[in-house]
Amino acid sequence: MDRRDHIAMYGTPGTFDEKTMTVDFEFEDDETEVEPENQDEDHDERADGPPGRPGKVIEVPAHYEVCGTCNGKGRHVNPGVDAHGITAEEFDRDWSYEEREGYFRGDHDVTCVECKGRRVSPVMDLDKLSAEDRKRIRDYLDDRESYIRMCESERRMGA
């Protein structure tokens, strides 16, 4: 999947707070146990998880870097136009001279989905975290990426 489509569909992980320059990740607190007698008999754990489990928020310091999706331009070609690649042969055969000129002129450009036209995007400084929190964030990001790959694979198979 094209990076532009990927970000538009799944967003970026965590919640970025520009005032504090941190990305917040909320995790269920594994150490909090829920007593069975405190739960309603009709409560279905599968629907929304066990009640009374407060979340742990990990704040990851962040800094701005040039946006990797638009390369600092604030705009990029609409993924619907060239997301799956256009070969030189297709470009010459299927596009008129005016369409080709429009493509290079930016007629098909849209505001960047990652930086929203700001030309920079936040990047997490994982090295500034404790080893435990760094591992937890990396495991979360790995699990998220695996899930996204599985969803994309299922979509290609027609699911």
Q: What is the 3-state secondary structure (H, E, C) of the chain?
A: CCHHHHHHHHCCCCEEECCCCEEEEEEECCCCCCCHHHCCCCCCHHHHCCCCCCEEEEEEEEEEEECCCCCCCCEEECHHHHCCCCCHHHHHHHCCHHHHHHHHHCCCEEECCCCCCCCEEEEECHHHCCHHHHHHHHHHHHHHHHHHHHHHHHHHCCC
Domain-located, residue 21: yes
In the prediction, which pLDDT does 81 show? 82
Domain-located, residue 99: no
Domain-located, residue 34: no
In the prediction, which pLDDT does 120 show? 94
Instruction: Give the pLDDT band of residue 67 (cuts 50, 70, 90).
Output: very high
Domain-located, residue 155: yes
Specify the number of domains making up the chain: 1
Domain-located, residue 130: yes
Domain-located, residue 141: yes
pTM of the complete model: 0.62
Q: What is the pLDDT of residues 12-48, one digit of tens each?
A: 888 899 999 999 988 765 554 445 554 555 544 444 4
In the prediction, which pLDDT does 62 show? 93
Check residues 152 and 62 and name the one with the higher pLDDT: 62
Domain-located, residue 107: no
Q: What is the pLDDT of residues 78-90, one digit of tens each?
A: 887 876 677 888 8
Domain-located, residue 129: yes
In the prediction, which pLDDT does 77 show? 87
For residue 147, what are the domain limits? Answer: 16-28+52-65+119-159
Q: What is the pLDDT of residues 99-151, one digit of tens each?
A: 888 888 888 899 998 899 999 999 999 999 999 999 989 998 899 889 888 98
